[in-house]
Amino acid sequence: MDDNTVLIGTKPLMNYVLAVVTQFNTGVPEVVIKARGKAIVRAVDTAEVATRQFLPGVTKKSISTSTDAIETDDGLSNISSIEIVLQKL
Strands of 5-7's sheet, edge to edge? 5-7, 30-36, 75-88, 58-72
Query: Which of these segments, 2-10, 16-24, 41-49, 69-77, binds a second copy (CB under 8 A)?
Result: 41-49
* Contact (CB, 8 A) for 6 and 19: yes
- For a second copy, which residue of 9, 11, 14, 37 counts as binding (CB under 8 A)? 37
| 50 is a contact residue toward a second copy (CB under 8 A) | no
Between 10 and 67, CB nearer to a second copy: 67
Q: How many residues does the chain have?
A: 89
Residues in contact with 15: Cβ distance below 8 Å, sequence separation at least 6, in sequence order? none
22 near 6, Cβ under 8 Å?
no
Q: Which of 6, 20, 47, 86 binds a second copy (CB under 8 A)?
A: 47
**Residue ranges in contact with a second copy by CB under 8 A:** 37-38, 40-41, 44-45, 47-48, 52, 60, 63-67, 78, 80, 82, 84
